[in-house]
Amino acid sequence: MLRRIVAAALIMVGSTAFADTLDINLSNSNAQFKYTIPSGIAGKSDLFASLTYNDVNDIMIDGGLLVLNEEGSVSGLSLGVGAKVVAASLSKVDTTRKLVSGVALGAQVRFELPSDRRFAFVGEYNYAPRIISFGDVDHFAQGMARFEFAMSPLTQAYIGYRSSKFIMKSGFPEGVVDNGGHIGVRLAF
């Protein structure tokens, strides 16, 4: 009986001890830092917050919820939906800094290779239409694709591409926070 209690306690501690993740990705013109925790709100769901900074002094923060579901009929496939709040301070859109924001809905597709689950392809897209975009923003669009390699159960390295844009109205130029390749690492603890 004592063995069962100890085993159950270790499983519970093990599942919470490695729940949070810190994701850092960099390019020559961008840095993004993302922190994720399990939410327990709906199945396998995560709450996250991130900060993105670029070489023209644009700053973007976002936070939200992503709910993932593994597709049983296709080994290694996970589908997710979510929502996030996005806010940015853009330096090159107007003569002064421009504060913009939006509420974006999104989807994520993740496919781990069945033959070697250490390798995965991930795609994600988030969109905030005009009705829920603010600060002279017509809409916000963010797309991302990356290839991941699990170096250990707690560490993943990846290479990817991300585009994060606020499409402006009233004749302002696009507010491009990120548009290019990056490398990154995700640490679980």
Within a domain: residue 3?
Answer: no
Burial 105-132 (b: 16+ CB within 10 A, else e): ebebebbbeeeeeeebbbebbbebeeee
Residue type, 93: V
pLDDT in tens, 10-58: 444 444 444 799 999 999 999 999 999 999 887 789 999 999 999 999 9
Within a domain: residue 11?
Answer: no
d(CA 124, CA 162): 9
Task: Provide the CATH number for the domain around residue 99.
Answer: 2.40.160
Q: Containing domain of residue 72, as a range?
A: 19-188
Within a domain: residue 55?
Answer: yes
Within a domain: residue 142?
Answer: yes
Run of H or E residues at 3? helix 2-17
- Domains of the chain: total: 1
DSSP letter (8 states) at residue 100:
E
Within a domain: residue 5?
Answer: no
pLDDT in tens, 134-181: 999 999 999 999 999 999 999 999 999 999 999 999 888 999 999 999
DSSP letter (8 states) at residue 153:
T
Within a domain: residue 13?
Answer: no
